[in-house]
Structure formats: C-alpha cells, structure tokens
Amino acid sequence: MTTTDLEAIEERLRVLPPEKLAVVYDFVSYLAEGCTKSALETMIASEAVLARDWNRPEEEEAWADL
C-alpha cells in the first residue's frame, strides 16, 4: 500500500463534479466519526446516493404493481 498525502487527495478532489464530492464528504465524515453511525443514520446518509438508482423510470415501472 502506498502512502497518500493530503495534497494528492486534494488534487484528485479538485476534478470531481459536485455530486461526487457530496459522496466523498459523506464517506469521509463516516470515517472521521469512527464508523459509529447507527443503522438509521447510515440509511439516511445513503438515501441521496441510492435515489439515483431508485428514481429511474425503469425502477418505477418495475415496482408500479406493488
């Protein structure tokens, strides 16, 4: 495993679009908190990311009869 410094991480972050930065922020926050979020907090934090898949027209059609 190579050592990664803050400068290398910042360089990679600068090229990410805003929606990916939001995902990175959530993940880093999770790591910084010592991975102690409750299951409910984790579900809430991941909702926006998962919604990209959930809210596709194909998904709506697949679940329409339930």
Instruction: Give residue-wise pLDDT tens across range 24-50.
Output: 998 888 788 776 667 677 778 888 888
pTM: 0.46
Query: Percentage of the chain surpassing pLDDT 70?
Result: 89
Q: How many CA atoms lie within 13 A of 51 on its CB side?
A: 8
d(CA 16, CA 19): 8
- pLDDT confidence of residue 45: 81
Confirm if 5 and 13 have CB atoms less than 8 A apart: no
Confirm if 53 and 59 have CB atoms less than 8 A apart: yes
d(CA 22, CA 64): 30
Domains of the chain, residue spans:
6-63
